[in-house]
Structure 1
């Protein structure tokens, strides 16, 4: 049994960040990556290249959960599950920040 087939994909990430009552900020980024399906889970892998270095990112998409894993210039692991409070840690050159989420803050579409 070999490795699952990998498909090259274009990835567009749109993040909306809000702190308290302040207006939210929106960030957009585009990447090239790889998509494959294994053991009931979609895996999307891509590299975020910055001036100061790079971050390897993996997004695991299951029916009831999305997990974002980043290692490199930025490190984090955050799980998103509908109706479930999840906690994670975001580490960058600016320091550490804990994150709590209570809902899926985004939608996702996988087109093959």
Structure 2
């Protein structure tokens, strides 16, 4: 059985969305959460609050793949594998929508401490075989309280 390390972290989340014929939109969010390392995978858990919507988010990632799972007012599962298209889903008040992520770039930059590092993913999001834009998600995490 492997050792599991868990620690509090502060997380800075930067999302950049580029849609056809529009200027990129950049969103920044700060949160606190926990980080856990199990084998070669990192699990970041935190809460996102935007416009009175609450989402508990888990980001699991390693060097080769990642997945974002959101629960709360919005439920979502988005898998990422570099150079591949992966099916996921997005649930809202209007029902479930199938989505596809085409991962173009993905980097995991750990530091010597589990509580510090960076995860970056760039992907195209498709809904119903139509591109809805290119997304860049960057998470920087540092030691929390």
TM-score range, shorter chain: 0.7 to 0.9
Aligned to 2:8: 8
Structure 1 alignment gaps of length 5 or more: none
Change (3 A) 1:108 1:31: farther
Q: Give the drift of 1:103.
A: 1.9
Distance in 2 of aligned mates of 1:94 and 1:24 = 27
Q: Give the drift of 1:93.
A: 4.9
Q: 1:103 aligns to what SS in structure 2?
A: strand
Instruction: Supply the RMSD in Å over aligned alpha carbons.
Output: 2.6
Which stretches of structure 1, 4 residues or longer, exceed 4 Å deviation after superposition?
93-98, 104-108
Compare 87-96 and 61-70 and name the one that shifted more.
87-96
Aligned to 2:118: none
User: TM (normalized to structure 1)?
Assistant: 0.80
**Is the 1:52–1:73 contact (alpha carbons within 8 Å) kept by the matching residues of 2?**
no
Matches within 5 A, 1:97-108: 98-104=98-104, 107-108=107-108
Structure 2 alignment gaps of length 5 or more: 114-145
Q: Tell me how many residue pairs correspond in the alignment.
A: 112
Compare 21-30 and 46-55 and name the one that shifted more.
46-55
Instruction: After superposition, give the CA deviation of every residue in 1:54-101 in whole Å (9 maximum; x if it has no partner).
Output: 211100012210100000012110011110012322234576554322
Aligned to 2:35: 35
Larger strand proportion, structure 1 or 2? 2
Matches within 5 A, 1:22-61: 22-50=22-50, 52-61=52-61
